[in-house]
Amino acid sequence: MSDFPALKPNGYRDTWCGQVLGDRVGSEVRVAGWVHRRRDHGGLVFIDLRDRTGIVQLVFNPDEAGGAFELGHDLRAEHVLSATGTVVQRSSETVNADLPTGEVELKVSAAELLADAETPPFQIEGFAGEAGEDARLRHRYLDLRREPMREALELRHRVTAAMREFLDGEGFLDIETPVLTRSTPEGARDFLVPSRLQHGSFYALPQSPQLFKQLLMVAGLERYYQVARCFRDEATRADRQAEFTQLDVEMSFVDVDDLIEVNERLLAHVFERVGGPRVQLPMERMPYDEAMDRFGTDRPDLRFGLELVDLGEALRETEFKVFRSVLEGGGAVRGLNAGRREMPRSELDGLISRAQELGAKGLVWAFREGEGWRSPTAKFLSGEELRVLNDRLGAEEGDLLLLVADERPVTDAVLGQMRIDLAERFDLIPEGEDRLVWIVDWPLMEWNAGERRWDALHHPFTAPAGEFDPDDPGAARALAYDVVWNGQELGGGSIRINHADTQQAVFAALGIDAEQAEARFGFLLEALRFGAPPHGGIAYGVDRIVQRLCGAETIRDVIAFPKTASGFDLLTGAPAPVDEMQLKELGVSLHERKLAGH
Residues near ligand ASP (CB under 6 A): 186, 208, 210, 492-494, 537-539
**Amino acid letter, residue 112:** E
Q: Cβ closer to ligand ASP: 497 or 559? A: 497
Minimum CB distance to ligand ASP, residue 290 (Å): 22
Q: Cβ closer to ligand ASP: 17 or 539? A: 539
- Write the CB contacts of 519 (distance below 8 Å, at least 6 apart in sequence): none
Whether the bond between 5 and the residue before it is cis, its omega within 30 degrees of 0, is: no
* Angstrom distance (rounded) from CA 288 to CA 300: 10
**Amino acid letter, residue 197:** L
Minimum CB distance to ligand ASP, residue 443 (Å): 16
Whether the bond between 473 and the residue before it is cis, its omega within 30 degrees of 0, is: no
CA distances from 35 to 80, 95, 581 (A): 6, 20, 46
Q: Cβ closer to ligand ASP: 82 or 214? A: 214
Q: Cβ closer to ligand ASP: 38 or 496? A: 496
CB 538 within 8 Å of CB 493:
yes
Minimum CB distance to ligand ASP, residue 249 (Å): 7
φ and ψ at residue 392, rounded to 5 degrees = -60, -35
Minimum CB distance to ligand ASP, residue 538 (Å): 5
Q: Cβ closer to ligand ASP: 510 or 538? A: 538
Q: Cβ closer to ligand ASP: 506 or 538? A: 538
Minimum CB distance to ligand ASP, residue 444 (Å): 13
Long-range interactions of 561-570: CB distance < 8 A, separation 24+: 561/140, 562/137, 562/241, 563/241, 563/242, 563/243, 564/133, 564/134, 564/137, 565/236, 565/238, 565/239, 565/240, 566/236, 567/236, 567/242, 569/137, 570/134, 570/137, 570/138
Q: Cβ closer to ligand ASP: 189 or 408? A: 189
Minimum CB distance to ligand ASP, residue 408 (Å): 25
CB 102 within 8 Å of CB 95:
yes
Element (H, E) at 282: none
Minimum CB distance to ligand ASP, residue 564 (Å): 24
Minimum CB distance to ligand ASP, residue 494 (Å): 5
**Residues in a beta bridge with 436:** 485
**Amino acid letter, residue 222:** E
Minimum CB distance to ligand ASP, residue 551 (Å): 24
Minimum CB distance to ligand ASP, residue 298 (Å): 13
* Angstrom distance (rounded) from CA 300 to CA 285: 12
* Angstrom distance (rounded) from CA 162 to CA 148: 21
Closest CA to 371 of 384, 358, 362, 381: 384
Q: Cβ closer to ligand ASP: 127 or 481? A: 481
Q: Cβ closer to ligand ASP: 226 or 494? A: 494
Q: Cβ closer to ligand ASP: 217 or 306? A: 217
Write the DSSP assignment of 226-258 as a string of letters: EEEEEE------TT--SEEEEEEEEEES--HHH
Minimum CB distance to ligand ASP, residue 230 (Å): 7
Minimum CB distance to ligand ASP, residue 394 (Å): 37
3-state secondary structure of 578: coil
What string of H, E and C letters represents the secondary structure of 363-415?
Answer: CEEEEEECCEEECCCHHHCCHHHHHHHHHHCCCCCCEEEEEEEECHHHHHHHH
* Angstrom distance (rounded) from CA 14 to CA 12: 7
Element (H, E) at 437: strand 436-443
DSSP 8-state assignment for residue 487: T
φ and ψ at residue 334, rounded to 5 degrees = -130, 155
Q: How many CA atoms, within 13 angstroms, populate the side-chain half-sphere of residue 478?
A: 30
Q: Cβ closer to ligand ASP: 19 or 297? A: 297
Q: Cβ closer to ligand ASP: 360 or 490? A: 490
Element (H, E) at 106: strand 104-115
Q: Cβ closer to ligand ASP: 217 or 538? A: 538
Strands 364-369, 284-287: pairing kind: unpaired
CB 503 within 8 Å of CB 518:
no
Q: Cβ closer to ligand ASP: 53 or 184? A: 184
Minimum CB distance to ligand ASP, residue 493 (Å): 4
- Write the CB contacts of 389 (distance below 8 Å, at least 6 apart in sequence): 311, 314, 315, 335, 373, 381, 395, 401, 403
Minimum CB distance to ligand ASP, residue 231 (Å): 11
CB 306 within 8 Å of CB 339:
yes
Work out the end-to-end distance of the chain between its first and last CA atoms, rounded to an integer number of angstroms.
Answer: 48
